[in-house]
Amino acid sequence: MQEKGQEIENIGLPANTTISLLPKPTPFESITFVTMSESSSEMLRAAVHIGASHASMIILRIAKDGTEERADFLEKNIPLGRDIFGYGKVLASTIEQAVSVIRGFQESLAELGLDDIPVRAVTTNTLEEASNAEVFLNRLHIACKWHFKSLDDGEMTRLVFLKTRRRLKDTPSMQRRNTIVAHVGPGNARLILSKKGRIVRYQSYRLGTHRCWERLQSPDLTGEPIIRLIREQISGLIAQILYDFGEEDIEDLVMIGTEIQMLAPYLSKPHKTKSRYRILRQLTSDIASLTEPERVKNYNLDYQTAGTVLPALVINAAIAESFGLNSLRVSRSDYEEGLLTDLAHPDAAHDELKSQLLHSSKLTAKKFGCDMRHARHVAHLSGRLFEETRDLHGLSDHDALLLEVAAILHEVGNHISPKSHELHGLYIIRHSEIFGLSDPDRLLVALITRYHRKDAPQLSHLHYDKLTQTDRIRVAKLSSILRVADALERTHSQRIKDFTVSLGEGKATLNLEGVLDASAERLALPTKADLFQNLFGLKLVLNENA
């Protein structure tokens, strides 16, 4: 194994509980702390990532005071992206190559006396596009005994957010400007809009380096012809990006990604991140004029990156050009080491990510014309009912967060029509980009809002029928709470500020504080409380002026 000795990005690690935006890890995904000395003054965390071009592993040594340093970093080439976007599947030879590389990582752990520890093991999310993704994962598990999980959109969002947060901290001017952070990955490009240091929009596009390179009809072209061919291929998505962000007065572009960060020394001065469009454009022309072996030699690239580096440059240049930007920024840190370091810290930035998720949800609700005072108050009442009935429903803090997001968004369907707006809301939420919400969680939120009125969940319903039994129960419980909260806000006047819940024989009494007459809410309750009553076997009763 070759060791790669570049400096890791410095990240802040708040001492938070497990991040609620991610699903609970399985035992093989958890991070194990390993004693390094008899005094237990140091521990290890490890993470493994099989990406589109490389498989890599990092081992971090963590001191008691929270400081950390890299104990080891290993990286090997694997042509996963070439297979997925070139053949639609992972070739048998690549599967066996991956097995060999992972076994090599395990041998390295054994040399350090760490061969028995679980590590967090993940693959690129582009693996989901391979027709034999399950075969690949099963082969790795059987051969190596590690359970690899494909990175979902929620975790990718967290990783991109952590990189964005570092750029915001490192670059004070970003706190004052409208900045686009563009992460161009192997299969997709993710764009984050930051205004005055706050993320206000997030969008994902099927615009990636490997996706682009493997679909070129004439990859042997060089010079301006190959640049034009790539630009023609991506022109539709670049136009969509301009349509989505064109009115935001973009002032700066931050470029992150494997290829672009490898070329950072050629785009900016030492110890600087600032570059210019003309430098990026010139570097694109220079690299386009070379063959792949010449790119490897002249720019210290590996053969896996020598092809995809050109689409990375063209895509970033096209984004900068579409916004008319002359000033650009590129991270000088090693992308893969930074990614693995963040993977090894699944709890990092919990509170900030939760705040960004709720902020993004509110922006989505405003976009579709929701009554925000009503939405926020239903979210407040839902949260109170959730907390007061924890022993009853047995749900997690993560479920509480999904409920809050659903409450904020429960009326977005009115944008299409008040009639059957719960069904329109299901469609809108499922197809909206909400920063920090994974695809599975977005579906759960959409279904919770779908059942905030009228029909109770039924197995014959679209999308609900595909859920596991556990998730069906979660949706039903959370929807029942949202329905009651919406009934308590029947008047849209926010007059019920707080309440407590008393559980008695066959009933749950909501003791309303400071309300003398709850006639309107009592009238709304029968059609809204049915799901709650059927699930928990308790009749809901309102008690005024508690």
Kindly tell me if the per-residue pLDDT of 7 is higher than 90: no
Specify whether 318 is located in the same domain as 377: no
Q: Cα(420)–Cα(465) distance, rounded to whole angstroms?
A: 20
Kindly tell me if the per-residue pLDDT of 8 is higher than 60: no
Specify whether 447 is located in the same domain as 330: no
Q: Please report the pLDDT score of residue 198 as a whole number.
A: 79
Specify whether 161 is located in the same domain as 291: yes
Kindly tell me if the per-residue pLDDT of 532 is higher than 70: yes
Q: Cα(173)–Cα(248) distance, rounded to whole angstroms?
A: 17
Residue 5 lies in a domain: no
Q: Please report the pLDDT score of residue 273 as a whole number.
A: 86
Specify whether 223 is located in the same domain as 115: no
Residue 8 lies in a domain: no
What is the percent of the chain where pLDDT is above 70?
A: 92
Residue 13 lies in a domain: no
Lowest-confidence segment of 64-78, 167-181, 443-457 by average pLDDT: 167-181
Specify whether 375 is located in the same domain as 338: no
Task: Render pLDDT for 311-365 as a digit per residue (tens, 0 to 9).
Answer: 999 999 999 999 999 989 998 888 888 888 888 887 777 788 888 889 989 999 9
Q: Please report the pLDDT score of residue 22 as a whole number.
A: 34
Kindly tell me if the per-residue pLDDT of 520 is higher than 80: yes
Residue 7 lies in a domain: no
The torsion defined by the Cα of 418, 423, 428 and 429, in degrees rounded to 10, comes to 120
Nearest to 183 by CA among 342, 381, 364, 373: 342
Kindly tell me if the per-residue pLDDT of 405 is higher than 60: yes
Specify whether 215 is located in the same domain as 339: yes
Specify whether 125 is located in the same domain as 202: no
Domain of residue 125, residue span: 24-150
Number of structural domains in the chain: 3
Specify whether 380 is located in the same domain as 393: yes
Residue 324 lies in a domain: yes
Domain limit, last residue, from 298, 319, 343: 343
Q: Please report the pLDDT score of residue 215 as a whole number.
A: 83
Q: Please report the pLDDT score of residue 219 as a whole number.
A: 62
Report which DSSP code applies to 418.
Answer: S
Q: Please report the pLDDT score of residue 135 as a whole number.
A: 96
Q: Please report the pLDDT score of residue 42 as a whole number.
A: 66
Specify whether 325 is located in the same domain as 439: no
Q: What is the mean pLDDT of residues 207-220?
A: 84
Residue 368 lies in a domain: yes
Kindly tell me if the per-residue pLDDT of 482 is higher than 50: yes
- Cα dihedral across residues 429, 432, 433, 438: positive or negative: positive
pLDDT band at 15 (very low <50, low <70, confident <90, very high): very low
pLDDT band at 272 (very low <50, low <70, confident <90, very high): confident
Residue 17 lies in a domain: no
| Higher-confidence position of 481 and 203 | 481
The 3-state DSSP composition of the chain as helix, strand, coil percent (nearest 5) reads 50, 15, 35
